[in-house]
Structure 1
Amino acid sequence: MSKPETNTQSIAERLVALCREGKYEQAQEELYADDAVSVEMAGASGFPERVEGMEAIREKGRQWADNIVEIHGGSVSDPVVADGWFSVAMGIDATYKDMGRVDMKEICVYRVRDGRIVHEQFFYEVG
């Protein structure tokens, strides 16, 4: 049996690879547990602070994608892994229907259990 960190490292690397290709839905299908939880920053406009389950996470992703007019650039760092957790710095420069152009940076933290992502949480400036 592999150490949790080894398993977490491979999941983290796969998530990064898919996100760098813009394949967010594929990443969710491949890597997330059905009962995963997603947490946004308190006070972030347009999204509930916490959603549970893949259907709610997929719907949140669809709403975000539907709001994008144009993507001008983006970035995804290499993962930093510690036991069953990893973090990634992500950025997206995009024009949104409701906010105009925003160059956003965030730290994304993920928890892996039994080979699946069970928790994601995003940290970024609000307002």
Structure 2
Amino acid sequence: MNTQQVAERLVALCREGKYEQAQEELYAEDAASIEMEGLPAGTAGNVKGMDAIREKGRKWKENIVEIHGGSVSDPVVTGDWFSVAMGIDATYKDMGRMPMEEICVYQVRDGKVVREQFFYNVG
């Protein structure tokens, strides 16, 4: 798949709430996941490799009490990169209800996501 195809598939899966399937299908084994600086202690931060990304996702999912809504924009693609605006309105065990919006930037190499980085307000 080229970058446009990877981007469109990731968006389609995320819109269905199939984040784990997106990772399994589209990510390279050595992919990196980068969060914003200044996260509270105990929050999943930067990780490398699919095992660590899966664990990060598992912890995030376990913390969710209820999802009230969400959104995923169409991708903006250039070269090996694409970005997507995502939003989620969820109630978390440790933070209560908290709507969040972010820009997600992805790098694709050889038809797989090798890097994801998230930009959002912290605290």
TM-score interval w.r.t. the shorter chain? over 0.9
Structure-2-length-normalised TM-score: 0.96
Structure 2 residue aligned with 1:76: 72
Q: How many percent of aligned residue pairs carry the same amino acid?
A: 76
Number of residues of Structure 1 aligned to a counterpart in Structure 2: 122
Deviates further, 43-52 or 86-95: 43-52
Structure 1 residue aligned with 2:105: 109
Once residues 98 and 48 of structure 1 are traced to their aligned partners in structure 2, the CA distance between those partners, rounded to angstroms, is 13
1:89 aligns with 2:88: no
- For 1:1-127, list aligned pairs within 5 A: 7-45=2-40, 46-127=42-123
Stretches of structure 1 that go unaligned for 5 or more consecutive residues are 1-5
RMSD between superposed Cα atoms in Å: 1.0
- Secondary structure in 2 matching 1:90: strand
**Residue type at the aligned position of 2:120:** Y
Q: Offset of 1:54 from its aligned partner?
A: 0.2
